Chains A and B, each alone.
Chain A
Amino acid sequence: MGRIFRDIAIGILAIAVLAAVPHLIPGKAFQDFVIRCSSMALFATSLNLLVGYTGLSSFGHGLFFGLGTYSFALLMQRTGISLPMAFIATLLINAVTAVAVGAICIRLRLIYFAFVTLAMQMLMHSIIISWVGLTGGDQGLQGGIPRRVVAGIDLGNQYNLYIFAAVVLVIGLLIMRHIVNTSFGTSLRMIRDNEARASFLGIVVWRVKLTVFVLSAVFASVGGIVMSLFVSGAYPELINWPISGDAIFAIVMGGVGSFLGPTVGTMILLLLNDVVTRQTEYYGLALGIIILAFALGLRRGLLDFITERLGGRPAGGIS
C-alpha cells in the first residue's frame, strides 16, 4: 500500500510542478512539448506493457493510437455527446477492437505476432484511407474538434489542454504502474521469462495475454485522444505504420526494463525531433546515428543504463 501512496504523491507533485512551470517560463513551446509528450509517452508505455513486461513485440500498436484519434475525433464531430462521454466511448471502441485483434494475434509467437499485428494496423490504415465519406480519406478528418469544454474548462485554451494532458499522463502512468505491480503484473513477467513454466503453474496464458493486449490498447487510445485534441482532428499518418516505429524507438532509447523508460525515451525522441528539425533537413540520418549510439554504445535504454550504473536492477525485472 505504501508504494501506491508514494506513487500517487509523486504524481501529484509532478502535476503541481508542471502547473507552475508556465508561470515561470514564458512561451508556449514547453506546453506544446508536454502535450505531445503526454500523448506519445502514454502510447509508448502502453506498448511496453506488451514488449517489456510480457515479451510480446507488437509492431502494429499504432493501430490503437490511431484508432483512438479517429474514434474520438469522429465522436466529437458527428455526434452531440460531451467530451467525457466521447473519451469513454473511445476507450470502449478500442477495447472491443483489441479483443478481436488480440484473439487472432496472441496465439502467435515472436516474429509472427509482430507481423500479424503490423498487418492489422495496415488493414485499419487502408480502411481509413478508403472510407472517404467517414474519415476524409488521405485528407484526414477536417474541420476541427468542437465542444472542447469540460466542466466549464475550455480545452481549446492551450494552458488548459496542457494541464489536462499532464493530468491524463500522470493518471495513465499511475494506473499502468499499479497494473505491473499487482500479481497480474507478475504473471506477465513469468510469461515473458518462461511461458511453459507459467502455464504449468496454473496461469491461463492466453487469457493473461489477451487481457494485457486489451489494456495496452486502451492506454494507447488515451494517447491518441490527447494527440487528437492537440492537432484538433485525425490524420492517416497517425495510424500509419511509422507511428508504431516511433513508440518502439522511444522504448529502445528510454529503456525496456524501467517503468519510466518509455516516457524518458519519448522525451528524448521528441527533443531530438524538435532540435534536429530546426537545424537540418537530414532528420532521419541524425536519428539513425543516435539510435545506433544507443544500441551499440549503451547497449540498452538510457534509464536502464542509469539504473544499472547506480547498482540497481531495472524495475521491469528483466532477468
Chain B
Amino acid sequence: MKPTEPTRRTVLTGAAAVLAAPHIAGAQAKAVRIGMQATFSGPLAQSGITHRNAIEMEVDRINAAGGLAGRPIEMVYRDSKSQPQEAARVARELVNSDGCEMLLDAESSAGSFAVQEVVRDLGVLCIHSSSETSSLTADPKYRVASAFRSSRQGIHDAIVGGAYAAKVADARKLTKWATCSPDYAYGRDTTAQYLEYLKHFKPDIEVISQAWPKLGQPDFTEVITKLIQARPQAMYTALYGGDLTAFINQGNIYALFSAMQVFSVNLADYTALTAIKNLPPGIATGNRYVVTCPDTVANRDWGEAYRKRFNEYPTNWSWQSSTGMRFYEGAAKKAGSADPKKLAEALRGLTIECPFGVDGTVTMRAEDQTVVGYAIGWGTTLTKPPYVADVKPADWGTIFELETEWKKRNGFI
C-alpha cells in the first residue's frame, strides 16, 4: 500500500500547532512582570545591586514554589542613575512599555517621591523598598492608595535610638553630648529628631557641640579635633557610607572612640563595617542589617545563603526588598490571585512570616500602608565578625505610642 502523502492542509495544521504550542503553554502560566528601577551606576550603584541580589534570591524561591498564585515572576530591572526625572521616566516605561503589572521601587528619598507621582498617575501597584523618609507614607498629602512601603522609617529609628541612648546614658551618667552629622536635610533632620527623643527619655542631657561636615568631605581632622576639644561624654552621628568609614578611620588616629561613647545610627551595615580598617569595639550602633538582629536561625540562614551566593553579606537594602517581595508573595497567597487590584486589597493589614521580623513576622499596617514589626535595635561593635553583638531589640509598643504622638503633632492624623 502506498503510504499516504501528507496533504498541504495537514502540513499547515501541524506547523500551526507547533508554532502555537509555546504560546498555549505560556497562556497557562503567564509570567507576572515586576519592574524595579534602582541606581545601578555611579557611586550609589551598590544600593541597586544589593537590592537586586536579594530579589533574585526571593524570586528563585517563590518561582520554585509555584510563583504568585501559579504564575512565575519575571523581574525587569532598569537603572535610574540616581536621578528623580529618570526614575519617573523609567517607572513609566516599565509599566507602559515593558508590561510590568507592578513595581518594586528601590529609589531613595527624592527618587521615591518621583515614583510615587507616577504611581498616582498610573494607579499601578507599588512597594517602595528603599525610601526611609517617614512622610512618604505618614503624610496623607503624599499617600497613594496603591503604594506601600517595605523599608524602615526615620521616625522609628529616631524613637528607638533615643530610647536606647537614654538607657545607656542613665546607666553611665552621660549628660554632655555632641553630634556630628552630614550637612544637608537628612543629617540635620535625623539629628534633631534623635535628640528630641533622647531628651524625651532623658531630659537632663545637654548638647555642648555640634559638627556638620560636608557630604563627601575627605578630611575630618578639623571636625574630630573640635569634638575632642569640646570634651563630651557621648556623641551621636548620622554619617553613613564612605563618610562614616572615613570619619572612623581618621577618628581612630586621634583615639576619638576611647574619649567618648559614640552612637552611630548607620554603622551596622556590612558595607560600612567591613570597609573600616580597625573597627573600634564598643561603638553603639543601630542595626541596618546584621545577621545578629534579629538573632534567629531564620535570619542567620538567610544572611548566610546570601553570602554564599554573592560572596558578600547583604545590606539594609537587601532585607527591605526581600521583605517587599515576600509581601507580594503573601498577598498573592491570601488573594489567591496575582491581579494587582486584589493584591493591593490583600496587602492592607497583611501579616507575613519573615526572617527580619522582631517576632518572626512583619505587618503591612493598613492605616498608612507601611511595614511595622521589623527587627530594629541597637548593639555594640566588636572588632571581628559578626561585628555587632548584644543587640537590644526595640519595643514596638513604645514606637507605636510615640509615632502616633508625632503624627498628631504634624497634623498627619
Cβ proximity bits A114-130 to B, threshold 8 Å, 1 near / 0 not: 00000000000000010
Pair B185/A132 contact, Cβ less than 8 Å: yes
Min Cβ gap A70→B in Å is 13
Is residue B31 within 8 Å, beta carbon to beta carbon, of the partner chain? no
Q: Is A82 an interface residue (CB 8 A)?
A: no
Contacts of B109 in A (CB 8 A): 138-140
Q: Knowing A132-B185, A138-B185, A281-B45 touch, does A32 contact B84 (C-beta < 8 A)? A: no
B37-61 residues at the A interface, CB under 8 angstroms:
40-42, 45
Q: Given that A142-B135, A278-B78, A283-B41 are contacting pairs, would A231 and B96 also be in contact in the complex, using a CB cutoff of 8 Å?
A: no
Contacts A27-B96, A32-B93, A281-B79 given; does A156 touch B121 at CB 8 Å: yes
Check if B400 is an interface residue, CB within 8 A of chain A. Answer: no
Which residues of the partner chain B approach A282 to less than 8 Å between Cβ atoms? 41
- B45 neighbours in A (Cβ, 8 Å): 281
A113 is an interface residue with CB less than 8 A from chain B: no
CB of B110 within 8 A of CB of A237, answer: yes
CB distance from B255 to the nearest CB of A (A): 34
Q: Does B193 contact A (CB under 8 A)?
A: no
Docked CA distance A238–B118 (Å): 17
Establish whether residues A140 and B110, one from each chain, have CB atoms under 8 Å apart when the complex forms: yes
Residues of B within 8 A of A132 (CB): 185
Find out whether the CB atom of B114 lies under 8 angstroms from the CB atom of A139: no
B114 close to A283 (CB less than 8 A): no
C-alpha gap A232/B87 in the complex (Å):
12
Q: Which residues of A contact B40 (CB under 8 A)?
A: 281
Q: Which residues of A contact B85 (CB under 8 A)?
A: 227, 230-231, 235, 237-238
| A-B pair number, CB within 8 angstroms | 92
In the complex, how many angstroms separate the beta carbon of B264 from the nearest chain A beta carbon?
21
Q: Is the beta-carbon distance between B114 and A140 smaller than 8 angstroms?
A: yes
B156 within 8 A of A: no
Bound complex: CA A227 to CA B88 (Å): 11
Whether, in the assembled complex, B133 has its beta carbon less than 8 Å from a beta carbon of chain A, the answer is: yes
Knowing A28-B97, A140-B110, the reply to whether A237 touches B83 (Cβ < 8 A) is yes
Contact between A129 and B184, CB atoms less than 8 A apart: yes
Q: Are A235 and B97 interface neighbours, CB within 8 A?
A: no
Q: Please tell me if the beta carbons of A140 and B113 are within 8 angstroms of each other in the complex.
A: yes
User: Who on chain A is nearest to B96 by CB?
Assistant: A28
B185 and A137 within 8 A (CB): yes
Q: Is A277 an interface residue (CB 8 A)?
A: yes
Q: Is B199 engaged at the interface, CB distance under 8 Å to the other chain? A: no
Task: List chain B residues, Cβ under 8 A from A274.
Answer: 93
Cα distance A140–B42 in the bound complex, in angstroms: 20
Interface assignment of B2: CB less than 8 Å from any CB of chain A? no
B8 to chain A minimum Cβ distance, whole angstroms, is 35
Identity of the chain A residue whose Cβ is nearest the Cβ of B40 in the assembled complex: A281
Contact B117 A231 (CB under 8 A): yes
Residues of B with C-beta under 8 A to A277 = 78-79, 81, 86, 90
Which listed residue, B81, B89, B93, B186, touches A283 by the CB 8 Å rule? B81
Which of chain B's residues has its CB closest to A28's CB?
Answer: B96
Report chain A residues within 8 Å CB of B133.
Answer: 139
Determine the chain B residues whose CB is within 8 A of the CB of A144 once the complex forms: 117, 120
Q: Out of A27, A138, A140, A142, which one reaches B97, CB within 8 Å?
A: A27
Per-position contact with B for A18-44: 1 when CB-CB < 8 Å, else 0? 000000000111001000100000000
Q: Decide yes or no whether A236 CB sits under 8 A from chain B.
A: yes
Q: Which residues of B contact A152 (CB under 8 A)?
A: none
B142 interface residue (CB < 8 Å to A): yes
Given known contacts A277-B78, A277-B79, A142 and B116 CB-to-CB distance under 8 angstroms? yes
Check if B409 is an interface residue, CB within 8 A of chain A. Answer: no
16 residue pairs from A and B, CB less than 8 Å apart: A28-B92, A29-B96, A29-B97, A137-B185, A140-B114, A143-B141, A144-B117, A227-B85, A231-B117, A232-B88, A232-B117, A232-B118, A235-B110, A277-B79, A281-B45, A283-B41
Closest CB pairs A-B (n = 3): A137-B185, A28-B96, A235-B84
Extra 19 A-B pairs, beta carbons < 8 Å, given A142-B142, A144-B117, A237-B82: A27-B97, A32-B93, A32-B96, A138-B185, A139-B109, A139-B133, A142-B116, A144-B120, A231-B85, A232-B117, A232-B118, A233-B117, A237-B85, A238-B84, A238-B85, A277-B79, A281-B40, A282-B41, A284-B42
Enumerate chain A interface residues (CB-CB to B < 8 A). Answer: 27-29, 32, 36, 129, 132, 137-140, 142-144, 156, 158, 227, 230-233, 235-238, 273-274, 277-278, 281-284
B: residues with CB less than 8 A from A are: 40-42, 45, 78-79, 81-86, 88-90, 92-93, 96-97, 109-110, 113-114, 116-118, 120-121, 133, 135, 141-142, 184-186
